[in-house]
Structure formats: C-alpha cells, structure tokens
Structure 1
Amino acid sequence: MPRHRLLSLLNEGTKYPLTLCVASSGWGKGTLLTSWANHTDKHVSWLQVDESDNEVAMFYQK
C-alpha cells in the first residue's frame, strides 16, 4: 500500500540536512524508507538506533 503522504513528507525532508523517521517497532519505518529510496533520485542512507544506543558521543565527530 503506497503511503503517498509519508513519501511526500520524506521528499520535503530533503530540504534539510537531517530528517528523522520515528515510530514504534512494527509500524513500517524500514518498509517506508526502502520504498522511498527506490523511487527517489537522492542519495539515501539511514541509521537505525534503539535504546542500547545511548552514547551521545558516538554521534559527534571531532
């Protein structure tokens, strides 16, 4: 099932340096991002984090 509104929001997010896609487990974030990545001409990557990824320092580059 295409999620046109969410895909449109992801396209809008390309105007910014970072776009967050946040939802509970099982809500289709990976499916949505994969679908979007396959239909955009933008370079796409994503980082999946969970509760155990709570070291803020690992997200900062010196």
Structure 2
Amino acid sequence: MRGRRHPGRRPGRGAETAGAVVRAVSAPLFLRLFITPEPIDGEVADQTARAVLAAVDAGAYVAE
C-alpha cells in the first residue's frame, strides 16, 4: 500500500494499525477455512480485500 493515498485519513490523526488490518483481512478467510464448510475462492478473497480497503480509506483503522 506504499504510495497509496488515504482520503479518509487526516494528517496528524494517526495511522492504520498494521495488526488490525491484517486481522480484518484474515478473519473471514480463517473462518471459512477452519469453521465453515464454505470454500475460499478468488471472489471471496477479492471481496474481503475490497471491504478492508474501504474501511482503511474511511479511517476505521486509526491509532490515536
């Protein structure tokens, strides 16, 4: 994500916490892998990535 602009983040307000972003991406995939019988396919991975990127852009993962 280097060089990517984050319109939802205001300068001086903190930055995304890497651990929270990694957990947000991996949680739905781990759920499917270990808990439910649903398969992990490219669409699920893409949907998860899009949702997390939208949350990052909205400022959901900000350390104050």
TM-score scaled by length of structure 2: 0.27
Q: Which of the pair has the greater relative contact order for Cα pairs under 8 Å at 6+ separation? A: 2
Higher helix share: 2
TM-score scaled by length of structure 1: 0.28
